[in-house]
Amino acid sequence: MSIVIQWDNPEQTVIHLELRRGWIWEELKDAIREVDKLITSVDHTVHIMIDIRKAGSIPGDFMSIAGDIFASGDARSNEGKRVVIGAGTLIRMAYKGVLAIYGHKLANRPFLFASSVEEAEKLIAQSDA
């Protein structure tokens, strides 16, 4: 499988979504729907770690599709932080481009960036205050 989704802890407060080399947009759309089901299956806050360290290169049509995917739907009332693990400079720059176009849709649902799972866990543990 090119995309793996699983609870990251027994308390079911963090979902780990891992993209592996060979993933395609349709798989990512299906994965987002699966993550949504997991989030709505519990009443407490659920954070999402999106691990792209093994994802390979980003598709050439990133800007045209990613913005729609990132901005689609409304946040669930119990959706927490969304942390991308392993995004290099190119992906972070592309995200800034997506923000420039779709910022109004992403303002309340920003992505955070971490270089490791441990760093992502620290970002999730930090309060929003």
φ, ψ (nearest 5 deg) of residue 112: -105, 160
Domain regions of the chain by residue span: 3-125
- Tens of each residue's pLDDT in the chain, 129 residues: 799 999 999 999 999 999 999 888 888 889 989 999 999 999 999 999 999 999 987 776 666 676 666 656 667 889 999 999 999 888 888 778 777 776 666 666 778 999 999 999 999 999 654
Q: CA 36 to CA 38: how far, in whole Å?
A: 5
**Topology (CATH) of 3-125:** Transcription Regulator spoIIAA (3.30.750)
The C-alpha angle with vertex 87 and arms to 14 and 105, in degrees rounded to 5, equals: 70
> Which strands sit side by side in the sheet containing 46-54, from one edge to the other?
3-7, 14-20, 46-54, 79-85, 111-114
